[in-house]
Amino acid sequence: MRYLERRKARIEIIPMIDIMFFLLVFFVMITLRMIPATGIASQLPQSSTAQELPHPKVLVTLLADGEIAMDSHKLSLAALTTQLAAEPQPAKTVVTIAGAKSASLQSLLAVMDACRKAGISQIGVAAQEAH
């Protein structure tokens, strides 16, 4: 008679948790692999008084040959000003300039002037801590 009794079906949750954890780890690993590929390699200048700053909202890269890149797209000074002015609140936007070690001071000042023309008042310069 026991064979004719109806048994309630059970869903095993432990294998489902294992699969979800595996998928989570997989997507995290893929995401971490993609992050370094989106940057531009440059040698930052060194400073003995460098301070840790919060992550900037906008990162402008000044390359050694004087070209400007933002979000891995090369821009002119006028295009940089236009793009920064299009930010929702330019006065509250924080811009960090990551210049190459061999970039000229004139190029750095030109980028800073383009940021100021867009209404940006908080401008930082990225540097490596001197060892």
Chain segment 59-109, per-residue pLDDT in tens: 888 888 888 988 878 889 999 989 888 888 877 888 888 888 888 888 888
Is the pTM higher than 0.75?
no
Q: Extract the runs of DSSP E, i.e. beta strands, from the chain.
A: 46-47, 58-62, 68-70, 73-75, 94-99, 122-125, 128-129
Confidence category of residue 17, pLDDT binned at 50, 70, 90: very high
How many residues are recorded in the chain? Answer: 131
**Is the pLDDT at 12 greater than 70, yes or no?**
yes
| Percent of the residues in the chain that have a pLDDT greater than 70, as a whole number | 79
Confidence category of residue 35, pLDDT binned at 50, 70, 90: low
